[in-house]
Amino acid sequence: MADGSRQSKYVKLVKDQESPVEDIKPGELNLPIDVPQLEVRKCNECGQPLPESYEPPADEDWTTAIFGCIQDRDSCLTGLFCPCVLFGRNVESLRDDTPWTTPCLCHAVCVEGGMALAVVAATYNGIDAHTAFLIYEGLVFAWWMCGIYTGLYRQSLQKKYHLKNSPCDPCLVHCCLHWCALCQEHREMKGHLSDNAVMPMTIVNPPPVQEMSSGDDDRNGSESSTVNDGDHTKLEMQPL
Helices (H) and strands (E) in the chain, counts: 9, 0
- pLDDT, tens only, 130-150: 777 887 888 888 888 888 889
Per cent of the chain over pLDDT 70 is 60
Rg (CA), the chain: 38
**Of the candidates 139, 105, 103, which has an alpha carbon nearest to the alpha carbon of residue 121?**
139
As to burial, measured by CB atoms within 10 angstroms (0-12 exposed, 13-18 middle, 19+ buried), residue 149 is: middle
Distance CA 148, CA 173 (A): 10
Q: Answer for the pair 222, 127: CB distance below 8 angstroms, yes or no.
A: no
**pLDDT computed for residue 227 by the predictor:** 47
| Spatial separation of the C-alpha atoms in residues 39 and 122, rounded to whole Å | 58
Q: Which residue, among 169, 175, 176, has the nearest Cα to 155 in the 3D structure?
A: 169
From 103, 180, 170, 178, select the one nearest 143 (Cα to Cα).
178
What pLDDT is recorded for position 145?
Answer: 85
Q: What is the pLDDT of residue 87?
A: 92
Which of 8-12, 89-93, 197-201 is predicted with the least confidence, judged by mean pLDDT? 197-201
Name the percent of the chain lying above pLDDT 90.
8
Per-residue pLDDT averaged across 195-202, rounded?
Answer: 54
- Is pLDDT at 116 greater than 90 in this prediction? no
- Least confident range from 20-24, 61-65, 209-213: namely 20-24
For 6-54, write each residue's pLDDT tens digit. Answer: 665 555 655 555 555 556 566 556 666 666 666 777 776 667 777 777 6
Contact (Cβ atoms closer than 8 angstroms) between residue 178 and residue 209: no
- Domain-wise residue ranges, the chain: 69-195
Entry pTM: 0.56
Tell me the pLDDT of the chain averaged across its residues. Answer: 74
CA distances (Å), 38 to each of 51, 122, 136, in order? 13, 62, 55
Handedness of CA 172, 175, 181, 182 (dihedral sign): positive
Compute the average pLDDT of residues 82-107: 88
Tell whether the model's pLDDT for residue 225 goes beyond 60: no
What local confidence, expressed as pLDDT, does residue 166 receive? 80
